Structure 1
Amino acid sequence: MQKYMGDKPYICEVCGSSFKKKSTLEIHVRIHTGEKPYTCEVCGSSFTGKSQLTIHMRKYTGEKPYSCQLCNSSFITKQNLKRHIETHTEGRHSELCDVCGSSFTSKAVLKRHLKTHTGEKPFTCEVCSSSFTEKYVLARHMKIHTGEKPYSCEVCDSSFTRKDDLKGHVRRHNRVKNTENQTLEKPFSCGVCGSSFTEKSSLRVHMRIHTGEKPHSCEMCVLSFTTKSDLKRHIRIHTGEKPHCCDICDSAFSQKTHLKIHMQSHTGEKPYSCNVCTSAFTVKANLTVHMRKHTGEKPYSCEICGSSFARNENLKSHMQIHIRENFAPGFS
């Protein structure tokens, strides 16, 4: 049965993630329930898994079981040792973090990094009491309250509180312009599926779709990711960080796309309309699923009995029926 389930038969009913072991699924589900049964007797911090508590306790015991054979440095976790070894292979000898093994170009950058381990946030907003690790982050946050948007687009009338948001906006203009002029060069092609990219780094990340490589691992759970940005977004599930704030209400979100969807609740905008009926949707994916009601398309098929479904979630639920049938007590 693991052949049909991709060797990961234990599926989370909340988000659809799948796991090889039932115990791993049980730990994962605690992300959704908020359950943290393992508590540190020293500081009161709680964790979803026993292994996380074990790693946490090493901060107090000083235990660092993973040692580097090149320089005798030692680390709390195996992943931290792995990152440290990269500083030798890549020749990036500089300021090293004693906690996780990351390396930095200067002591000032290392000092900022250490705040991610200590949880120190000395800069507090006087309006909403939010706190931040850096003064410049607080200054950027204050623009939410003042409504200041100093970065303006020269192409249209849009303005933004952050320079990075303006840069992303301008790139969208450029993509449209390049598409219209058909001048967008994509010299780096995938030998497997033929997709092409403007940057070699983008092709390298794309290839992980085919190889299944997920080099960026979460230290708080068992999940791993193809890109560093995906890992960064995932970690916010554990930390509870929600950096994307609504300018109209007090809502905050871990992902920018979630904020974008939320904003449509204020505007009432539903940009994705069905051309068969009058239904409209805030998210394109919801329109895609809705259209299958009209077309009858059921792209997700069961390889055991041939049943097909409009949604992947429905297929996963269906597969559980076969598992229960074939692995019920008395089955041989």
Structure 2
Amino acid sequence: MQTQKLINDGNLAVDEMLAGILAAHPQHLWRPEHAPRAVIARHGPRPGKVALVIGGGSGHEPTFLGFVGKGLADAAAIGNVFASPPPQPAVDAALAANGGAGVLFMYGNYAGDVMNFDMAAELLEMEGIEARTVLTTDDIASSPVREKRRGVAGNVFIFKAAGAAADLMLPLDEVERIARHANARTFTMGVALSSCSLPQTRRPSFDLPPGEMEIGMGIHGEPGVRRGPLRPADEVTDEIMDALLAEMGASRGDRVAVLVNSLGATPLMELYILHARVAARLAQAGLSVHKVLVGPYCTSLDMAGASITLMHLDDELTRLIDHPCDCAMFRQG
């Protein structure tokens, strides 16, 4: 049985979405005429500024499109649903955002993205534009080795820190250092309650029987660490928080930023129930909560489930995630 979606043609869904976003947010976004899958910040790029270019597959909105704007990303390259953008949109995005101080590509650690963005960086170097890459690797369930982990909802905080550094006109070396530092101090783990369905097929993309959950599942349906009966919200939160706190290794009195993220179909009511337990666990651990985000920040189409992200703050990261930004779907300051 097919799922029900408000679309016209599954094969056109990404391009029609882009048309709608550009029509809704012309004060924030524009698109080069020759580059249908490159979206540029209206007020971010400027001479002498490092260009922060993010990107990846569609279906995770507001990641990546929603974080393009002054104070955050200068541009985004957009792929098909759950698919890396080809090299050309990344090149187009970088050229449109280039301020002469170099380009930093940031995206989740997925094989297709790495291959295509690496090709884009080589093409830019041939044009005399210095391009570097920082992968996000915050999903602690995906590997015990940080460098092999996937990038998921922690992108929000990691991009935010790097975008602020670029907006402050720091040089490329510093923006790259801050991006790597932010990534190293960001930790995410999620739980899926049901599958998502792609616009092209309108059928579940994986099988998760009713009454079961999968801890650690990825945002494209990648396998998690454990599947079992659905448990009460506090028990699910405790399992995730136990893993995050052990991984983070913070000391009492340290500060954190928190994201309780919907994977698409989970409503705010349930997210705030999760956050009540997150807040209690952080208080028990003696940690100070500096910032909280609750809502759909990195989704997986219509997947039911949620993820919890902790960023272990220091003075530098605190200033950077507090820095003002003005994007189509995320603003502060």
User: What band does the TM-score fall into relative to the shorter chain?
Assistant: under 0.3
TM-score (norm 1): 0.20
Decide which structure has greater helix share. Answer: 1
TM-score (norm 2): 0.20
Higher relative contact order (CA 8 A, sep 6+): 2
Computing the radius of gyration from Cα coordinates, the structure with the larger value is 1
Decide which structure has greater strand share. Answer: 2
